[in-house]
Amino acid sequence: AGKPIKVNLKALLAKGPVVLYFYPKAFTQGCTLEAHAFAEATPEFAAAGATVIGMSNDDLPTLQKFSTAECRDKFTVAAATKDVIKSYDVALKVAGLPVGLTKRTSYVISKSGKIVMVHSDMDYRDHMKLTLEVVQKLKQG
């Protein structure tokens, strides 16, 4: 809802699986449509016990606006620091050089902390669907 909060992955995992999805740039067409898809599927993710977090390296004021306008206050949007980008290997590169954006990559992290799914594709269309399928399967056991 555009309010700054601290995000603690370990605390979130204690509640259930986490979908961590990186997107290149707030307010671009693909990122906006992807955010809408995750926002609309919030009830399904909640029913599977999953938390969704969208991440990019946009500045905080941009993320606050994006959280409200495009994510519709349905899930947390977090700032991807350089360390987070490096840890999740999501730096977007052109000709081998980072361009200051993240790749469009979605992770599903199980309650135990294990990454059980990675989907990296600049086409936004399958990210929500594939991550939802995985968290639903996790709930089923």
What does the block give as tokens for 93? 């590169």
Alpha helices in the chain (DSSP H): 9-13, 29-40, 42-47, 60-69, 82-87, 127-140
End-to-end CA distance of the chain: 32
Residues classed as catalytic = 31
Q: Which residue has the tokens 């999805």?
A: 21
| b/e code 112-122 from CB counts within 10 Å (16+ = b) | eeeeebebeee
Task: Please calculate the CA angle 50-53-59 and round it to the nearest 5 degrees.
Answer: 170
